[in-house]
Structure 1
Amino acid sequence: MTFRKKGSKNPPLLSLEFILQNHADFVACVGMFFVLGLMFEGTAEVSIVFITLQHGVTFPAVEAEAEAETEAERATAPKFLYHYGAKDLATVFFYTLVAIIIHATIQEYVLDRINRRMQFPKQRQGKFYESGQFSVFFLVSCIWGTFILVSENCLSDLTVLWKAHTHNMMTFQVKFFYISQLAYWFHAFPELLFQRSRPQELSQQAVYVGLHLFHIAGAYLLYLNHLGLLLLMMHYFVEFLSHSCDLFYFSDEKFQKEFSLWAIVFILGRLVTLIVSLITAGFQLAGGQNGNSDDSAEDVNVLAAKIAVLSSSCSIQAYVTWNLFNVQLQRWMEEDAPLQAPSVKKKRIKGRFCRKGMENGVATSNRLLDSPQMRKEKSS
């Protein structure tokens, strides 16, 4: 994403330039309409659909405690669960507006100030803004997702990863996390226009955003909430290290060698992601084949879904790893270019020096002294 530079003159009102420069203000006004709608009885019901989570189901406390296996699970058994539905699209739309506002706030009050202080060249400003935005998002998502994994007992009981929640439901924090993730990645599409991405970067950015949307939506719709959450945390942690290293590299190129080890962590993270996907899907495959037919019919983790999860997980890991190699090769070429330029310059200077004192390999100083003009000057 390239740097959105404001011109010295104010653009015409309602022109494309005016909209691009003030898009966050327009989006904030649209979001305020939904918030103000809560104040009036006639519009409160419509605003609630956009602002709050929908498709909630009251779960009986007795049944929730009966299905809990331990005392800790009985104490924390959810009494109100959620499933997905068509109204989630309205909620995703509203939080997409919120993501656009937060994106503009971070860029204006944090990244722009750092850019003015560091004075990055124009060719690096776009990458700096992109890495800065993604670093903040991945860091917040990792902290938030880890808190959910701990509170949902996913790390202490790994069987939760391949078991759907009671009656294919999800808790409030899990659903709100997925809604927020979908909203953020949906907001990335209009940001490609707002940030004036170059045509050669547009397709690559669109594929990157589309892959995240595809996998997050797949985990959300198939009720693979905990498995998808764990895989997202591993993926986001590696991406956070990647973009953080880019920020250090942009600030000073001497960090290139010290922070090149992130590539090893990057590859290890991809391998761990594939291993977790294979283990969880493999265990559930074996359980689904040996289990009862009623349980298999009620479980959304059917054979086709598991194969789709494994194939999609392998495809995105291969795609991201291929991008890693391309970026690393491009950096190596950029590092070799300055080393070759001085050698060419020295050769040219050396050639000029030789032409002044030499001609076809013979010194010209004595020939100039023996010329007829110099002889006349000496005789006079």
Structure 2
Amino acid sequence: MRLRKKSKSPPALSHEFIIQNHADAVSCLAMGLLLGLMFEATAKTAIIFITVQYNVTYTTDDKSEPVYFYEYGPKDMATIFFYMLIAIILHAVIQEYILDKINRRLHLSKTKHSKFNESGQLAFFYLFSFVWGASILSAEEFTTNPTLLWKDYPHPRMFFQVKFFYICQIAYWLHALPELYFQKIRKEDIPRQLQYICLYIAHLSGAYILNLHRLGLILLVPHYLVELIFHASRLFYFSDENKQKGFTLWALQFVMARLLTLTLSVLTFGFGLARAENPGFSIADGNFNTLPVRISCLAAICLTQAWMMWKFINFQLKKWREHTQNQIPKKKTNTKIKATKKESCKSKYSFYIYIPIQSTKCRGGRIWIYHS
């Protein structure tokens, strides 16, 4: 018997070597940053990467407990970089231990395989982000009183959960850029994925820097719910093509989310911030309430929603055309089946004829002759 040849490992620092071992390399880098906390010489530098920076403490009375708020600054880039490494590690874990095992059972094609991996990763992220964002919104007051979205603007101070949420969101979408290389995404899919990745990074960074985190949070949570429904429905569709009811629910929620986004954006930028008591531009105070900034933000949101609706309408029209094209051959086959049934019925139609005869044996009798 011949021995099986061992698969040769790719040469060091080659593309295949980096793709296969990128999760291990990133894990070593993250572990090195964590080990930096153990030594006094490197602890001050390592803590910038791991913990949330720019905390501010406020006390209203001598007896009351202090309230901790957070602001943003340039050190947040180091924190975002560290959690981007964590996102790459989690991406590799989900891919290897969950999605790859399911793919082996489903035996999908290459096109469906890449789409299944994309929807699987995004479904996990949207589920986690929606639950986390909804828990933050449940503790906020502006969900019941929309005037708090623009009242007393600017809002430079954030609670820990709000700031950490935005840092993790920006870190995740930044990690999606190198994942296009690590996951060997097809060239045909790269432009489409780059579009929504860059849009997420731009909108999240804008809401974070311009102190519009309240508006960004209340718009992001329902949007993530809609995307979660879509990618979950996509996963069920790949497992069984007859399961398509989830896409109908997604279509309804998609239109409602777009209307909610446009309504709150127009109220905030067109009416709320335009009538605020402290308009002006001040980077030190975090005040960006000027007409050019408001018009730019509102235009960016409206153009993005219009682009999403355009792609949604084209997607629905494409599915409708495919459905009608599939129905035409079905109707032809049904008519052929009906025609063959009628011909078979005519050929099988039978009747009886009786002929009166006279014979010695059965005089006056009648013989029934079967004819078909």
TM normalised by structure 1 equals 0.78
Give the 3 Å change call, closer, same or farther, for CA 265–344 of structure 1 in structure 2.
same
CA distance in 2, matches of 1:116, 1:24: 21
Q: 1:238 aligns with which of 203, 206, 226?
A: 226
Distance apart, 1:85 and its partner CA: 0.9
RMSD (Å), alpha carbons: 2.9
Q: Which amino acid aligns with 2:294?
A: K
Q: What 5-or-longer segments of structure 1 have no aligned partner?
A: 1-6, 66-74, 346-380
- Which secondary structure state, in structure 1, belongs to the residue aligned with residue 289 of structure 2? coil
Structure 2, unpaired ranges of 5+: 1-5, 334-372
Correspondence list, 1:266-345, <5 A = 266-288=254-276, 291=277, 299-332=287-320
Cα pair distance change 1:324/1:166, threshold 3 Å: closer
In the TM superposition, 1:28-43 aligns within 5 A as 28-43=27-42
**Residue in structure 1 matching 2:125, options 108, 131, 137:** 137
Change in Cα spacing, 1:171 to 1:257, as seen in structure 2 (3 Å) is closer
Q: Secondary structure at the match of 1:199?
A: coil
Give secondary structure in 2 for the equivalent of 1:259: helix
What does the per-residue CA deviation read over 1:110-149, in whole Å, with 9 as the maximum and x for residues that have no partner? 1111111222222201111111111111111111111111
Match of 1:155 in 2: 143
User: Cα distance 1:216–1:318, how it changes in 2: closer, same or farther (>3 A)?
Assistant: same
**Structure 2 Cα separation of the partners of residues 135 and 276 of structure 1:** 26
Q: Counterpart of 1:196 in 2: which secondary structure?
A: coil
Alpha-carbon contact 2:150-2:273 (below 8 Å) kept: no
Identify the range of structure 1 (160-169 vs 241-250) with the bigger mean alpha-carbon deviation: 160-169
Deviates more, 1:225-234 or 1:274-283: 274-283
1:57 is displaced (CA, Å) by: 2.0
Could you tell me which amino acid in structure 2 is paired with residue 22 of structure 1? N
Counterpart AA for 1:35:
L
User: Are the structure 2 counterparts of residues 148 and 42 from structure 1 closer, same or farther at C-alpha, using a change threshold of 3 Å?
Assistant: same
> Per residue, is there more strand in 1 or in 2?
2
CA contact (8 A) 2:230 2:247 kept: no
Task: Give the residue type in structure 2 aligned to 1:306.
Answer: R
1:232-282, CA deviations, whole angstroms, 9 ceiling, x for partnerless residues?
Answer: 112111111111111111111112356334222212211111111112223
Which residue matches 2:107?
119
Which amino acid in 2 is paired with 1:203?
P
Q: How many residues align?
A: 326
Give the equivalent residue in structure 1 for 2:202. Answer: 214
Partner of 1:372: none
Q: How far does the alpha carbon of each residue in 1:72-124 deviate from its partner, in whole angstroms, 9 at most, with x for none?
A: xxx8x862222111111111100000000011111111111111122222220
Higher relative contact order (CA 8 A, sep 6+): 1
Question: How far has the Cα of 1:294 moved from its partner?
Answer: 8.5
Q: Equivalent residues in 2 for 1:90-109 (5 A)?
A: 90-109=78-97
1:202 to 190, 203, 213: 190
- Residue type at the aligned position of 1:140: F
Matched with 2:364 is none
Asked if structure 2 preserves the Cα contact closer than 8 Å seen for 1:149 and 1:226, the reply is: no
Matched residue, 2:76:
88
Q: Which has the higher helix share?
A: 1
Which whole-Å CA distance do the structure 2 matches of 1:294 and 1:279 have between them?
A: 19
Alpha-carbon distance between aligned partners in 2 of 1:45 and 1:104, rounded to the nearest angstrom: 30
Cα distance in 2 for partners of 1:168, 1:228 equals 14
Q: What do the CA deviations read for 1:50-86 (whole angstroms, capped 9, x no partner)? A: 00111222223439x9xxxxxxxxx8x8622221111
Partner of 1:362: none
Alignment of 1:43-62 (within 5 A): 43-62=42-61
Q: What TM-score does the superposition give when structure 2 sets the normalisation length?
A: 0.79
2:168 is aligned with 1:180:
yes
Could you tell me whether the CA contact under 8 Å between 2:280 and 2:288 is conserved in 1? no
